[in-house]
Amino acid sequence: MKVGIINVTGYAGAELARILSQHSEVEVSCVTGRSAAGQKLGEVFPHLSSLDLTIAPELDGSLDLVFSALPHKASAEAVIPALERGLKVVDISADFRLKRAAEYEEWYGVQHQHPAYLEEAVYGLTELHRAEVQAARLVANPGCFPTSAILALAPVVQHGIIEPDIVIDSKSGVSGAGRGLSLSTHFSEVNENVMAYSVDGHRHLPEITQELAALTQERLSVTFLTHLIPMTRGILSSCYARLRSGGDWDGPQGVGRIRELYQAYYAGHPFVKIAPKPPQTKETLGNNMCLLYPTVDLRTGRLIVISCLDNLVKGAAGQAVQNMNLMCGFPETAALEALAVYP
């Protein structure tokens, strides 16, 4: 199957090319990147030189599926022509994740040019929407923070065992900000430093709320705070909610029941693992796994779920390939079975 990558010169686009180079059923036949158009891919990214591709200004040639790794707004403009040509699309941007155009415009500050596609697009968190992804022609790849948070909270929200007031504290490596230059991600600013950002509201909040709200009849109250930490890759989200009374969550047996709930919920999902101890970001470096550690603070009756993933793999390119595999009838794990890189 021939695929194209729009904007291969960003971190997510380059990671897509790396993962797809190992896919036995896929040929990356076209990559774009306007700032580097005309250059060999290996000149821009030496580790991708084996692909022997020239970066084009626009998609060309016969393709079956297109990935877009462009920023929001630009991505929708680029993938609509591909959809109109009958191609399948996995969009890594935020352009098709939210179902309401007004909400998208509120959080992203631009008018959505193609709102008719919002209803058709499938939110590509495969652990929640596998059947829909399999039948889709347009998949909205989830954001990195929402992937970690939604996977951490979906079992308890759907089973109604927590109060609706939820706190999500997330920390991300610098690559989550993209490859573009900015003062806030300059080495001297980030090194030996931790900072909270988007304190008044992160763009990924409505995405988290949308997906969790679909699992319950209750109105959720979600507090979501993000932090930038001095490492290249990784997200660690610590999620908190009070357990409902009467659920018999006291003592080690209660903690065990919570873990059994999570293990049953994600049984058969190859890229979510219930960790035996609190996971670390290095344990997911370079692979498509999300590690979850659910437990209970027995002093307060509060659920704690720690979630770890690689923001460029399960949080972006790896999940996009996972979606492609399901859309095209390949094994879900194809090209995604690499172990984490350690140390």
Active-site residue flag, 144? yes
Burial (Cβ within 10 Å: 0-12, 13-18, ≥19) of residue 139 = buried
**Per-residue model confidence (pLDDT) at position 58:** 94
Confidence tier at 34 by pLDDT (50, 70, 90): confident
Whether the pLDDT of residue 195 is over 90: the answer is yes
Whether the pLDDT of residue 103 is over 90: the answer is yes
**Residue 262 and residue 306: Cα distance in Å, rounded?**
12
**Per-residue model confidence (pLDDT) at position 248:** 84
Q: Tens digits of per-residue pLDDT, 116-147?
A: 999 999 999 999 999 999 999 999 999 999 99
**Residue 111 and residue 121: Cα distance in Å, rounded?**
17
Dihedral sign from CA coordinates of 318, 154, 264, 307? positive
**Kind and range of the H or E run holding 43:** helix 41-44
- Coil vs helix vs strand at 51: helix
**Residue 205 and residue 268: Cα distance in Å, rounded?**
28
Q: Tens digits of per-residue pLDDT, 202-231?
A: 999 999 999 999 999 999 999 999 999 999
- The closest alpha carbon to 309, from 139, 109, 152, 123, belongs to 152
**Per-residue model confidence (pLDDT) at position 251:** 84
Query: Rounded to the nearest 10 degrees, how much is the dihedral formed by the CA atoms of 87, 89, 95, 98?
Result: 110
As a whole number, the mean pLDDT across the chain is 96
**Residue 335 and residue 331: Cα distance in Å, rounded?**
9
DSSP one-letter string for 217-254 = SSPPEEEEEEEE-SSSS-EEEEEEEEEPTTS---HHHH
Whether the pLDDT of residue 247 is over 90: the answer is no
Q: Tens digits of per-residue pLDDT, 153-191?
A: 999 999 999 999 999 999 999 999 999 889 989 999 999
pLDDT > 90 fraction of the chain, expressed in percent and rounded: 94
Average pLDDT of the segment spanning 44-53: 96
Whether the pLDDT of residue 49 is over 90: the answer is yes
- Maximum distance among all alpha carbons in the chain? 65
**Per-residue model confidence (pLDDT) at position 35:** 87
Residue type, 82: A
- Report in angstroms the alpha-carbon separations of 31 from 26, 48, 85, 282, 340: 14, 12, 18, 30, 27
**Structure tokens belonging to residue 253:** 């047996």
**Per-residue model confidence (pLDDT) at position 258:** 96
Question: What is the crossing angle of helices 144-158 and 126-134, to 10°?
Answer: 100
**Kind and range of the H or E run holding 23:** none
**Per-residue model confidence (pLDDT) at position 245:** 87
User: Are 275 and 245 spatial neighbours (Cβ–Cβ below 8 Å)?
Assistant: no
Q: Using DSSP bridges, classify how beta strands 195-197 and 221-228 pair: parallel, antiparallel or unpaired.
A: antiparallel
User: Are 39 and 54 spatial neighbours (Cβ–Cβ below 8 Å)?
Assistant: yes
Whether the pLDDT of residue 249 is over 90: the answer is no
Q: Tens digits of per-residue pLDDT, 264-315?
A: 999 999 999 999 999 999 999 999 999 999 999 999 999 999 999 999 999 9
**Per-residue model confidence (pLDDT) at position 246:** 81
**Per-residue model confidence (pLDDT) at position 181:** 86
- Coil vs helix vs strand at 107: helix
Write the CB contacts of 63 (distance below 8 Å, at least 6 apart in sequence).
2, 3, 4, 29, 30, 82, 87
CATH number of 2-120: 3.40.50.720
**Per-residue model confidence (pLDDT) at position 113:** 86
Q: Which of 30, 144, 290, 308 is catalytic?
A: 144
pLDDT > 70 fraction of the chain, expressed in percent and rounded: 100
Architecture field, domain 145-311: 2-Layer Sandwich (3.30)
User: Are 14 and 43 spatial neighbours (Cβ–Cβ below 8 Å)?
Assistant: no
**Kind and range of the H or E run holding 89:** strand 88-91
**Domain boundaries along the sequence of the chain:** 2-120, 145-311
End-to-end CA distance of the chain: 35
- Coil vs helix vs strand at 74: helix
